Amino acid sequence: MLSAGLQLFPASYPVAGAPFGTAGHTSSVSLSADFKFALVPHYELANLEVFKVGSDGSFTAVPGSPFPGGNAASYAISDPANKFVFLLNPSGYNQSGTESISVYKLDDNSGTLTQVQGSPFGLTAEGAHLRIDPSGKFLYVVGDVLQGFSVDQNSGKLTALSGSPIGTKVADAAIVKQ
């Protein structure tokens, strides 16, 4: 687990103001596809903090952050066009919740998130990572099994792919263009 403060070192020098405080402990940090926003999920708080990344590498919380997630929040990713953010919600500490993915529309100017209609979307098994294909049309949940979804490019709605889920105890996956 990462600590409640993030310290980033681009190249070989510290970023001014680092470490940056966050609302809670996190297990992952990812950047939006255009590197303008940092996505910081908080497992125990079940939310997603979003920071605007300054030209000097500094972080500034966006309006409305943190945004509510599902039972727990463990991993976030944006689509390649920066239209949507996907948040993986495991069942929680006591395993009493429901596995799901929260989907948000991303305001590419402000970084504000708005949950899409129907979100969160249920999963059939526990997930550990999210992967999205380069077109942004397909989202994959990697974990106990590999689960695939089509992403509606207008609404962000997820629809399970035919034949999904597959495999057992999938540690990770990569999407390769052929």
pLDDT digits 0-9 by tens, 154-172: 999 999 999 888 776 666 6
- Determine, yes or no, domain membership for 133: no
> Does residue 127 surpass a pLDDT of 80?
no
Specify the pTM. 0.82
What percent of the chain lies above the pLDDT cut of 70?
A: 75
Q: Token pair of 123, please?
A: 């999963």
Least confident of 72-81, 113-122, 148-157, 162-171: 162-171
Which range of residues forms the domain containing residue 91? 5-127
Query: Is residue 52 a part of any domain in this protein?
Result: yes
Question: Is 72 part of any domain?
Answer: yes
How much is the pLDDT for 20?
A: 54
> CA dist 6 to 30, 50, 58, 85, Å?
12, 13, 11, 21
pLDDT tens per residue, range 91-103: 755 455 678 899 9
- Whether residue 74 is contained in a domain is answered as yes
Q: What is the pLDDT of residue 6?
A: 45
Residue 164 lies in a domain: no
Which CATH number does the domain housing residue 11 bear? 2.130.10.10
Arithmetic mean of pLDDT, 76-92: 89
Do the domain assignments include residue 30? Answer: yes
Q: Give the chain's domain count.
A: 1
**pLDDT above 70: residue 119:** yes
Residue 69 domain-assigned? yes
Q: Has residue 25 been placed in a domain? A: yes
Average pLDDT over residues 74-85: 93
Separation CA 62–CA 66 (nearest Å): 8
